[in-house]
Amino acid sequence: MSSSSSKANGGNVSSAPISHANLIFALIIAAAFLDIVDFSIIQIALPTIRDQFAISLADAQWIVGSYGLTLAGFLLLSGRAGDIYGQKKLFIFGVVLFSVASLTGGLAPSLISLVVSRAVQGIGAAISTVTSLAIFTQIFPEGKARNKALGLFVAVLSAGFAAGSLTGGVLTAAFGWRSVMFVNVPIGIITALLSVRYLPSTGGLASESGLDLAGALSSTAGILLLVYGLTNAASFGFASFSTIIPLVISVVILAGFIYTESRSKAPLVPIRFLRRGVFLAANIIALIVAAASGGLGFLVTIYMQQVLGYSPLVTGIAFLPSAAVFLVVGGWGAPWFVGRLGIKRVLFLSLALIIAGNVLLTQISANGSFLDIEPGSILWALGASLGFPALFIAALSGTPHGEEGLASGLITTSQRVGFPLGLAVLVTVASLSTPEVISGQNVGLTAIVLGFRYAFVASTILSVVGLLLVFIIKESSTQSSQAVPA
């Protein structure tokens, strides 16, 4: 990393001294780590929160849902705002906002105040996550160095998900559910203070162009309604009015967004940007892989607890082998394979492994065991741990200065929207043969497993579509040269 400053597109970027590169990388990871850990840690505390506030399971889901809703909705806006007004400013603001919301959430006297705090947390996480990826893109030059760092980045976050589940159980048991909210505060404060001192300053592009307000409002509202509708679909099915109405309004708003962007002089998402290299294909494949992954993880969790009779703690431990695969393969294997095989071949391998894992999971039974689901889970984890870093590399490659936030915002949004989409689709498929799965009525284990098997077939089909899309990817000469080992 050079210590010189450069100007491009009207924005200044001052690279940090080489001696601070590791610290800057640690700050970037810390911000993303807060998001991942918070997502998993709060789920462990949900039963305790329900008991204190005496609320139903449906109401309790909003403690998780409000966070995911605002996080997905504000990613694209936050990414472009960082490009225009400066990534460093937005990053610090996001971390501070997340920390303050964590504090108010820990002090929440009622469910509504906790849900509001969680929604604000989601906004802070959206801002800090997407701007941290943009800063990451500016710091690490495209090629081997970036691929290696990105793999480590994904590996740490994967480990953070497992760590969050275990930490949530320990903190809740020892200090109560409020401690899982308070633990974010000191980490956020330290991250913000160090960021003020060490993060490279970016002047942004505000002097040349302002934020596309119409595009910002329509994209945020459209994505918020889309995720809200998909979340309702996972609970009530696609035929419910609470699902149909927000989805229809979302489609109308997003169609208007595309129309206004095509006519805007300074669009939030330039149409030419979507035509760059493998960017569009990478985002579509990321949406599909995230959809297949999100629903699969949910169904495997329910299968282990409701069919196999595992406790939440044992279920969390059962996921550790898959988390270890993400840590090792995602951290070191994915960059190595991308550097030697290229993005297209790695994505093909990734989707092939995910498909193989899904096929094995279609063989689950009501009389199964941990050993019956582990081969499929491991194959899926191998594929996903290769695919996610490769998709990030593909989406961020060739990004010109001034558009790092837009690139990271789009690829992150694709993944975030993919998870509720996959959950809604797979739960709906599972309920077609067993409607009681959604309604919560008592039903035989054989019927539940049959619905799950159909859902895994649907996940396999989704993955096959992603595999076919890999064939249309055309790597640039720059990406092809990066595939040759030094």
- Cα–Cα distance for residue pair 32/133, rounded to 1 Å: 9
pLDDT of 438 strictly over 50: no
pLDDT of 71 strictly over 50: yes
Which tokens sit at 130?
Answer: 């997407």
Higher pLDDT, 7 or 186: 186
> Hey, which residues does 6 pair with through a beta bridge?
13
CATH superfamily of 18-139+161-206: MFS general substrate transporter like domains (1.20.1250.20)
Residue with tokens 């909210």: 181
User: What distance lies between CA 234 and its chain's CA centroid?
Assistant: 18
- Cα–Cα distance for residue pair 329/206, rounded to 1 Å: 40
The CATH architecture one would assign to domain 273-486 is Up-down Bundle (1.20)
Of 64, 74, 140, the residue nearest 412 (C-alpha): 74
Based on the number of CB atoms within 10 Å of its own CB, is 13 exposed (0-12), middle (13-18) or buried (19 or more)?
A: buried
Which DSSP category does 202 fall into? B
Q: What one-character-per-residue DSSP string does 103-151 give?
A: HHHHT-SSHHHHHHHHHHHHHHHHHHHHHHHHHHHHHSPTTHHHHHHHH
Q: Where are the domains of the chain?
A: 18-139+161-206, 212-267, 273-486
- Cα–Cα distance for residue pair 182/201, rounded to 1 Å: 30
- For the stretch 96-141, pLDDT in tens is 999 999 999 999 999 899 999 999 999 999 899 888 888 877 777 7
Q: Quick check: 125 and 90 in contact, CB under 8 A?
A: no
18-139+161-206 and 273-486 agree in CATH topology: yes
- For the stretch 251-269, pLDDT in tens is 999 998 888 877 777 777 7
pLDDT of 485 strictly over 70: no
pLDDT of 18 strictly over 60: no
Q: What one-character-per-residue DSSP string does 158-180 give?
A: HHHHHHHHHHHHHHHHHH-TTHH
Quick check: helix, strand or coil at residue 296?
A: helix
- Cα–Cα distance for residue pair 98/267, rounded to 1 Å: 28
| Most confident among 184-188, 312-316, 366-370, 424-428 (mean pLDDT) | 184-188
- Cα–Cα distance for residue pair 96/102, rounded to 1 Å: 10
Other Cβ atoms within 10 Å of 320 Cβ, number: 13
Q: Quick check: 11 and 202 in contact, CB under 8 A?
A: yes
pLDDT category of residue 205 using cuts at 50, 70 and 90: low
Q: Quick check: 341 and 335 in contact, CB under 8 A?
A: no
Higher pLDDT, 105 or 48: 105
Higher pLDDT, 138 or 226: 226
32-46, 436-450, 451-465, 471-485: segment of lowest average pLDDT: 471-485
- Cα–Cα distance for residue pair 466/391, rounded to 1 Å: 12
Which tokens sit at 7?
Answer: 């100007």
Q: What is the pTM of this model?
A: 0.74
Of 90, 38, 83, the residue nearest 195 (C-alpha): 90
Of 259, 165, 174, 155, the residue nearest 212 (C-alpha): 259
10-24, 186-200, 286-300, 314-328: segment of lowest average pLDDT: 10-24
Q: Quick check: 339 and 483 in contact, CB under 8 A?
A: yes
Asked whether the CA dihedral 278, 290, 408, 147 is positive or negative, the reply is negative
> Hey, which residues does 8 pair with through a beta bridge?
11
β-pair type (5-8, 11-14): antiparallel
- Cα–Cα distance for residue pair 91/69, rounded to 1 Å: 20
Other Cβ atoms within 10 Å of 173 Cβ, number: 12
Which tokens sit at 26?
Answer: 């640690």
- Cα–Cα distance for residue pair 287/480, rounded to 1 Å: 24
